[in-house]
A and B are shown apart, each in its own frame.
Chain A
Amino acid sequence: MTNPLLAVERLSVTFNHRHTVVDEVSFVIYPGETFALVGESGSGKSITALSVLRLLPNNARLSADNISLNGDNLLSRSESDLCRIRGSRIGLVFQDPMSSLNPVMTIGSQIEEVINVHFQLPKQAVKQRVLELLRQVEIPEPQLRMKDYPHQLSGGQRQRVMIAIALAGRPDLLIADEPTTSLDVTIQAQILALLKTIQQQTGMALWLISHDLALVSTMADRVAVMQQGKIVETGKTADFFSNPQHPYTRKLLQALPSMDSCLAHAVEEKPPLLCVRDFSCHYPIRKGIFKRIVGYVRAVDGVSFDIQQGKTLALVGESGCGKTTLGKSLLNLIPASGGQVKINGVDLSQLSGEPLRQQRANIQIVFQDPFSSMNPRMLVGDIIAEGLSALHPGIGLDERKARVRQLLQQVDLPEDSAQRYPHEFSGGQRQRICIARALAVEPKLIVCDEPTSALDVSVQAQIIQLLKTLQQEKGVSYLFITHDLAVVAEIADDVAVMYQGKIIEQGRVEQVLTRPEQAYTKKLLAAVPVLKSDN
């Protein structure tokens, strides 16, 4: 066996002398390999990476027996030595390419800056190196692009620039901290392919930090699973996924939504609940002093679909395709521009004022971000009871309290939650409260706008299970908006694929996921990282 590139022994990080975030973690990374550190949010994986580079916040305490890079003990190095090591021997790519680039500098000068820190090169050579790097990360027309500012690039291109900056110092080890989490699935696939290519070209080691087990299974040579600050299991990728040892790992793998699960659905026709015909939602573009309308952004452009009673329609698409706009304008939260929305035969687009308010009980919404979807100054009980008091003012206080208790029970939350504030709950619990709030007015349809994308895998599985159970008990229909095709397979009966404001393909879930007709759907499906359990 070769000597390890990075060796970490019994690394611990404590915040404020109380909270141990990383607890005696030991691992090694060999030259040229891809090592993946997997864990749910808050498990301490990012802190582990930052503590190797000693980039921790001031209130953190670090202790370790050994952190060495190529046998060179990093613990004994001074801060100024570490400055040289960061960037030149260890490169770092962060999750959010929006906030990692300086918006007032061109991308070329940002890469130059890094080169100038680490190498003494003449000006022309620096330019050459920048072009070389941009070519390496496959940015088209690098001569023109290097004069661009970050806002002129797309999210994927920005992440490529971040990788170019990390590569500028020719590091032996590249740390990629959730490099694709904020990107669309097709872009994610491109970035991952790029990282692999570069790794093969340069022979550097890649330390991938991720919460996504499927992604890890396609990328990594070795995997370590982190839970509450401890590494609970380490192993070769193939062994790890075929034969997980630790119960936590098994739980994680089970929670993973699988593309095969759609085959288990029973086919049974039900009468349609919601009929949407030629529905569109256009934003006017105004220009000039008189705010003349010069054109429209066609966010939703002539969409038609049906949702059957007690069934789930999944609306799939990449960011910016108009799926959230569609969901919100179905509830009249965003004014629609044309078309028809009929629920139980009542045309919502013809209603306004009080009759519309009365119909609101029929459609409810659960939002993506469980942190901003509840008023932080209201008690959970009042949040859940809000719809009851607005739409059924006749219900007395005692009955309302009883309803809230019953709803809390239905979403598996303790009864005393009603007397607490939203910030006292975790993300998954908050999403349960939001579901209870939507259920309170006994809707026939709930629009779920990416309800699980902000949650960890195991919590996501619980929420999906809860949604399914509620559907069986109450016969409620869902419009499930998501970008995650694996979740679609878990929950949906029908699928509609949306692209640039239009639905380009719809049908039964097993049909769309296994025998897609449109090229875009095929591309989407191909980009989904699938757990490789049998190789």
Chain B
Amino acid sequence: MVILWTDALIFILMAIIVGLAFYMRSQEHIKRPLKQIGRSRIGMVSLVVLVFFVLIGLLDSVHFKAGGNKTNEIVSLLDYWATPLRERGEKTYSAPFAVTLYSKEMMTLADGSTHWDYPRLEFGGSHLDDPENQRLDDILQKGLYGFAQGAGLVAFFMFLSWGMLAEQHKRLIRSPAATAVWAVAFVIVSVSYALVYLSGYYHVLGTDKVGEDVFYQAVKSIRTGLVIGTLTTLIMLPMAVVFGILAGFFRGWVDDVIQYVYTTLNSIPGVLLIAASILMVQVYMANHEENFTSVVVRADMRLLFLCLILGVTSWTGLCRLLRAETLKLREMEYVQAARALGVKQGTILLRHILPNVMHIVLISVVLDFSSLVLAEAVLSYINIGVDPTTYSWGNMINGARLEMAREPIVWWSLTAAFVFMFALVLAANLFADVVQAAFDPRRAGND
């Protein structure tokens, strides 16, 4: 077992979320909005998609040394299971489900003559004798086989839960939300089974310039996206919330100081700060090489610092919003009533101000989540993003810059990154909408 820094933070975050969930279950008045989320079809479906992404991310966060202690190669559980995908690289570009490379090459035939044609791939579709005629049938057949496996698994769990549940709970399963959840789980599991099974024989999303499997890259990028989205938020949130409501509530010199700090920070170009700190980290790692022996450890350190510096530069926007909202809330009559009752100021902040700005926090966190994933792509473009060896959608999009200019065009890297990113961000947005509606008492029960 090797525990990287980001791994540790991710598991701490998971523990906090699980703990919160248990705490919320024990609170009678929080149970009602939770039930409302449970009844919402969109909420539950997007939750299933999110959970699926998070599970992959978690699998990718359990690291260990592959060859015992002899080698320095650190792999994750996901890497371990996807070893064939990881190791079976081609020479260069190949299209999804292709059996040949994307460009023609000079080949020497057995009789010594040369021939200008598309060479067969080393692994993709290499089991076929006559690709021209067999390929389509083979893909369909293998895809269906994988799909059936996944479908069978979901059906098995469905029957299992049906048999285990008491009569009064079966009503829950028949609700529209539960039906939707089963349907989405069915589609996701079956399709991913089919894809996984197929990727044993083909490169389902093609290969990139150095012949690496794009499907594998896209799946590996999930963890990077989640880490950047969540850890950055985790760093940015306390600063934004604490400074924002302190400035709004106490006004006077506290407000002046905080406003001064964020105005100054805002007027420094964020890219400069990020570039400087990333360079600093690189210098530090070069000077302490003995601590960063593995490529994975180095890349992880850089990812962590990217999150840190993105967090430090991105709290000002939310802080401004929260300050304005707090300025409004502190004049509300319930805050004045609390002051008249002799409630201490810290308690007023925690009990009256904080819960009433949480909807803003929730919305901006989800919006930031998507913009952070995008920021990562932009930073990779100028080489101060994640380590070039880290798989990330940003790196994939960055690489696709040149591919889009090729003739014929190489479209699969960009498409794969786009589809994965889109699914994650959309699911997060939809889920946040539902959560917000459920926890806003004025809207609760109306929809």
Q: Contact string, A364-399, partner B, CB cutoff 8 A, digits 1/0?
A: 110101001111111100010011001100000000
Of A18-26, A133-141, A354-362, A516-524, the segment with at least 4 beta carbons within 8 Å of chain B is A354-362
- Give A422-457 interface residues, CB cut-off 8 Å to B: 422-423, 434, 437-438, 441
Choose from B28, B336, B347, B444 the contact partner of A365 (Cβ within 8 Å).
B336
Judge if A421 is at the interface, Cβ distance under 8 Å.
Answer: yes
Within 8 A of A (CB), among B19-67: 28-29
1/0 per residue, CB under 8 A from A, across B314-353: the answer is 0000000000000000001110111111111001000110
Contact A386 B341 (CB under 8 A): yes
Q: B355 contacts A377, CB within 8 Å? A: yes
B343 lies within 8 A of A386 (CB): yes
Beyond A367-B333, A379-B29, whether A386 also contacts B338 by CB under 8 A is yes
Asked, given contacts A364-B340, A391-B342, A441-B341, whether A375 binds B351 with beta carbons under 8 Å apart, the answer is yes
Query: B313 at the A/B interface (Cβ < 8 Å)?
Result: no
Contact B340 A360, beta carbon cutoff 8 Å:
yes
Residue of B nearest to A379 (CB): B29
Chain B residues near A364: list those with CB within 8 A. 340-341
Residue from A377, A390, A423, A437 having most chain B Cβ neighbours under 10 A: A377
A365 touches B342 (CB 8 A): no
Contact A373 B334, CB 8 Å, known A419-B29, A421-B441: yes
Asked if A376 and B28 make an inter-chain contact with CB atoms under 8 angstroms apart, the answer reads: no
Q: Determine if B442 is an interface residue (Cβ-Cβ < 8 Å).
A: yes
Q: A331 near B: Cβ within 8 Å?
A: yes
Which residues of chain A have C-beta atoms less than 8 A from B28's C-beta? 419
Quick check: B344 and A390 within 8 Å, CB to CB? Answer: yes
The reply to whether B342 and A375 contact each other, CB–CB distance below 8 Å, is no
Chain A residue nearest to B329 (CB atoms) is: A375
| Beta-carbon contact of A357 and B342 below 8 Å | yes
Closest to B341 in A: A387
Contact bitstring B339-372, A, C-beta under 8 A = 1, else 0 = 1111110010001100110000000000000000
* A361 CA / B28 CA spacing, docked (Å): 30
> In the complex, A231→B352 CA distance in Å?
43
A363 located at the interface, meaning its Cβ lies under 8 Å from any Cβ of chain B in the complex: yes
Partner of A373, one of B337, B355, B444: B337
Q: Are B341 and A390 in contact (CB under 8 A)?
A: yes
Partner of A375, one of B339, B340, B341, B356: B356
How far is A386 from B332 in the complex, measured between Cα atoms in Å?
A: 16
* Assembled-state Cα–Cα distance A375/B334 (Å): 6
A441 vs B343: C-alpha distance when bound (angstroms)? 12
A479 to chain B, nearest CB (A): 13
A379 partner residues in chain B, CB cutoff 8 A = 29
Q: How far is the CA of A391 from the CA of B352 in the complex (A)?
A: 17
How far is the CB of B350 from the nearest CB of chain A, in Å? 12
* A377 CA / B444 CA spacing, docked (Å): 11
The residues in A between 446 and 471 inclusive whose CB is less than 8 angstroms from any CB of B are none
B442:A375 contact, CB within 8 angstroms = no
Contact A390 B351 (CB under 8 A): no
Of A363, A365, A421, which one neighbours B337 at CB under 8 angstroms? A365
A358:B342 contact, CB within 8 angstroms? yes
CA A422 – CA B334 in complex, angstroms?
12
Q: Is A328 located at the chain interface by the 8 A CB criterion? A: yes
CA distance A238 to B54 in the complex (A): 75
Q: How far is it, in angstroms, between the C-alpha of A434 and the C-alpha of B332 when the chains are bound?
A: 14
For residue B29, give the distance in angstroms from its CB to the closest CB of chain A.
5
Whether the Cβ atoms of B340 and A333 lie closer than 8 Å is yes
6 A–B contacts from the bound complex (CB under 8 Å): A372-B333, A375-B355, A377-B441, A387-B341, A390-B347, A391-B342
Residues of A within 8 A of B (CB): 328, 331, 333, 357-358, 360-361, 363-365, 367, 369, 372-379, 383, 386-387, 390-391, 419, 421-423, 434, 437-438, 441
Known: A360-B342, A364-B341, A374-B334. 18 other contacts (CB 8 A): A331-B339, A360-B340, A363-B340, A365-B336, A365-B340, A372-B333, A375-B352, A376-B356, A377-B355, A377-B356, A378-B355, A386-B341, A387-B343, A390-B341, A390-B343, A391-B341, A419-B29, A422-B441
